[in-house]
Structure 1
Amino acid sequence: MSSSRFCYVLMCHADPGGILRVVGRIRELSPDAAIVVRHSVPGLVSREDLEPLGATAHRSDIDIVWGDWSMTRAALEALEHVRRTVDARHVVLLSGQDYPIRDLAAWEDEVRRVGVDALIDVYPPMTDDWHYRWWTVEPPHVGPVLVRRAVKLGWRLVARRFRSVVMFYQGRRDPRWILGLRRPELLRHPAPVDVLKGALWVTLTGRAVDSLLQRHHEDRRTRDFFRTVRIPDESYIQSLLLADDQLRIMDCPTTFARFRYDEWSPTWLDLDELALAARTPAAFARKLPADVDDAVVAEADRLCARRGDEVPAIEEAIPGEVKLTGAERAPGLPPVATGLAAARG
């Protein structure tokens, strides 16, 4: 990757109007950037829709089920596609429901000046992710609502007693359940690499992309281990990057996304959420609903016009300080930064 330009990769699955809206806005704010729209939905967006905006589509055969290995596979496939087809120094991996809240050209210049290989929004560690061996389970299709309610009620009654052995719960946007069996103490082996938990939506240099793809293909033991962890898209790529001590990694969000306790999906953007997003150095905010109020889009566009001294600088999160992005640890408590230095230890 010899060019100094950026490539924005949008992982999309719905809302074609919203996809074109964010693609068009990225093009306005970064005229020289490459834009790739990754999706697996027939007819979601067409070449004719994207070409006037200077964007290309990457149609994938991987159908994503949120929270399992398919999301990780899809992200790696998209990065490999970009590495083969796009000449860019930096790759920015985003959800299709992200939207810019900063002048992207100015943000790109700042990323270049900071000179790190990866910006990762680091989450508090959740050892249950890898201390248990996780499977997805399809509930019975007969009377699914009643069955799910009965299982939920039953599990709430016995969960605390059996949590040391088994965990069982349902995703908010998915009819499947996730079953976790605790790995026996005597048979439990440490993860092949140090585990770093963080957002999938990252900014990477070309050499960071090359490093993680090489490790992904060559290190089968690590790959097989992360196939069995919970929500591997929040730890596999991040941990492969951390494993390369030649890479310079910073705990800093690319996109603002705030998760309430026990929610798998970030809070929908409104004016209040945008006010929080404006207090972070993130270049994007998520998640924007298909029927978003025009006032929310207008406010996001206004944030893009802020002067440089009005925008928080890209910098390392300080361990122990409150972060506005990431997962909350308990109801009513804000997200807590782990800090990359602590994560490395």
Structure 2
Amino acid sequence: MSPRARTSPACAHRAGREAEPLAVVLLAHADPAQVHRLIRALPGVPVFLHCDARTPPPVFRAMTTGLPAHVTVVDRVRTALASWSLVRAELTGLRAAVRAVDARHVVVLSGACYPLMSVDDLVRELAVWRGRSWIANTPLPVARWSTPRHPDGGLWRLNRRYLVHRDRVLHLRGVPLRWPWPRTVPAELELRAGGHWKIYSGAHARLLLDLVDDRPDLLRFWRTTLIPEETFVPTMLASPALAGADALPPCDAGPWYIDWAGSPDGHHPPWLTGADVDRLKVARWAPPLTPAAPPDPAGTRRLFARKFRSADPDVLDRIDAELRR
């Protein structure tokens, strides 16, 4: 049975008021100019900004100085790649958002993301997703997560216990350290592969936080997995034993344009430039995806794109002028 979402005092105080259509959890660690530009592209949207605790103080001050009133700076987490610390940073922002606003959707963005449409158009696009999350997710195993050493479709990330310190996986010469013997994945979990960037429904955001509070046993499991930012949320929300009738269905098409084909290693997509604008236009004006439509990963509309940086503002100038008018 799905756990019943608790009503916080803040939610009770907002009872009877119309929900915000949109809130944003923004995870950033560098490039204050790009972060400020992204915030300006979201006028009036409640933004909950997490700046990595590893970020140098001058960069943090530049990132958090002169912010508009609709931006809240949340508690900082020191993060490391492929570790629970990245999930903890997202959960910190998500909890701040849920406590402060009653939003129909909560979008998780990086500082290198940018919307491909205006806020009004974003709200219209997400109206058909009311009450539903838009989170790309695929049942494990998936072929793209196999490696020559681990040809099991990504199960190796979860069925071994990795060594961690302060929610960060320990490495030796670039290799993550783990116990040599396999372990059993909790039977309640329907494993899913996904990405870090997602759009929660308000109900799913609250449900996830309730599960985090109520199931320390599952959190102990996730803390010792590898790259949990790509499995934790989709698995928790897609598992009927945890989410009940609201379990997340599989979805191959996410709302982000990311140039994985141009990635030199398959893990780090390239920076987008003016040469990508025509492809961004195709992604922006492609047919919209609805919850009832069978997903077409190659041909559905994208709402956001990444990665961008302030060192190359021309591509964002063209997005503003040609896509977000």
TM-score, length of structure 2 as denominator length: 0.72
| Aligned counterpart for 1:197 among listed residues 183, 193, 200 | 193
Q: In the alignment, is the contact (CA less than 8 A) between 1:192 and 1:221 conserved in 2? A: no
Equivalent residues of 1:102, 1:303 under 8 A apart: no
Structure 1 vs Structure 2: percent identity of aligned residues? 23
Show the counterpart of 2:50: 38
In structure 2, how many angstroms separate the alpha carbons of the residues matched to 1:196 and 1:103?
31
Give 1:249 deviation, angstroms.
3.7
Structure 1 residue 113 displacement after superposition: 2.1
Q: Would the alpha carbon gap of residues 189 and 33 (structure 1) be closer, same or farther in structure 2, given more than 3 Å must change?
A: closer
User: Which residue of 2 is the match for residue 269 of structure 1?
Assistant: 272
Runs of at least 5 residues in structure 1 that lack an aligned partner in the other structure: 140-147, 149-169, 171-176, 307-345
| Distance in 2 separating the partners of 1:249 and 1:230 | 22
Measured in 1, the distance between the counterparts of 2:91 and 2:212 equals: 9
Change (3 A) 1:216 1:111: same
In 2: Cα distance, 1:232 partner to 1:91 partner: 20
How far off its partner does 1:239 sit? 1.3
1:217 aligns with 2:213: yes
Aligned counterparts of 1:61 and 1:77: Cα–Cα separation in 2: 8
Equivalent residue number for residue 184 of structure 2: 188
Question: Residues 26, 189 of structure 1: CA spacing in aligned structure 2 closer, same or farther, 3 A cutoff?
Answer: closer
**Amino acid across the alignment from 2:209:** L
Q: Distance in 2 between matches of 1:274 and 1:249?
A: 32
Residue 311 of structure 1 is matched in structure 2 by none
Verify: 1:246 aligned to 2:215, yes or no: no
**Are 2:285 and 1:285 equivalent residues in the alignment?**
no
TM-superposed deviation, 1:219: 1.4
Query: 1:296 aligned to 315, 318, 324, which one?
Result: 315
Q: Residues 254, 303 of structure 1: CA spacing in aligned structure 2 closer, same or farther, 3 A cutoff?
A: farther
Tell me by how many angstroms 1:297 deviates.
1.4
Secondary structure at 2:29 match in 1: coil
Partner of 1:206: 202
Deviations 1:125-182 (A, max 9, x none): 522211333233355xxxxxxxx5xxxxxxxxxxxxxxxxxxxxx3xxxxxx423455
1:256-311 C-alpha deviation (Å, 9 max, x unpaired): 2234374433221124544444434221111112312x3311332245248xxxxx
Supply the distance in 2 between the matched residues of 1:288 and 1:90 (Cα, whole angstroms).
23
SS class of match (2:137): coil
Contact 1:47 1:57 in 2 (8 A): no
1:137/1:178 contact within 8 Å kept: yes
Change (3 A) 1:298 1:233: same
**Aligned equivalent of 2:78:** 63
CA contact (8 A) 2:137 2:192 kept: yes
2:104–2:130 Cα contact (<8 Å) kept: no
2:121 paired with 1:118: no
CA distance in 2, matches of 1:131, 1:266: 27
Confirm or deny: 8 A CA contact 2:134 2:255 kept in the other structure: yes
**CA 1:262–1:8: 2 relative to 1, 3 Å:** same
2:93 counterpart of 1:95: no
**Residue 6 of structure 1 pairs with residue 22 of structure 2:** yes
Q: Deviation of residue 116 (structure 1)?
A: 4.4
User: Quick check: 2:106–2:202 contact (8 Å CA) kept in 1?
Assistant: yes
Against the structure 1 CA distance between its residues 248 and 116, is the aligned structure 2 distance closer, same or farther, given a 3 Å change threshold? farther
- Which SS does the other structure have where 1:194 is aligned? coil
CA contact under 8 A between 1:117 and 1:248: conserved in structure 2?
no
CA 1:290–1:298: 2 relative to 1, 3 Å:
closer
1:15 corresponds to = 31
Say which SS state the counterpart of residue 118 (structure 1) adopts. Answer: coil
Partner of residue 229 from structure 1, selected from 201, 211, 225: 225
TM-score by length of 1: 0.68
Distance 1:298 1:236, change over 3 A: same
CA distance in 2, matches of 1:191, 1:286: 35
User: Where in structure 2 are there 5+ consecutive unaligned residues?
Assistant: 1-10, 12-17, 143-152, 164-168, 284-299
1:192, distance to aligned residue in structure 2 (A): 3.8
Shift of 1:15: 0.6
Question: How much has 1:233 moved relative to structure 2?
Answer: 0.8
DSSP-derived class of the 2:26 partner: strand
1:128 to 147, 153, 156: 156
The count of residues paired between Structure 1 and Structure 2 equals 262
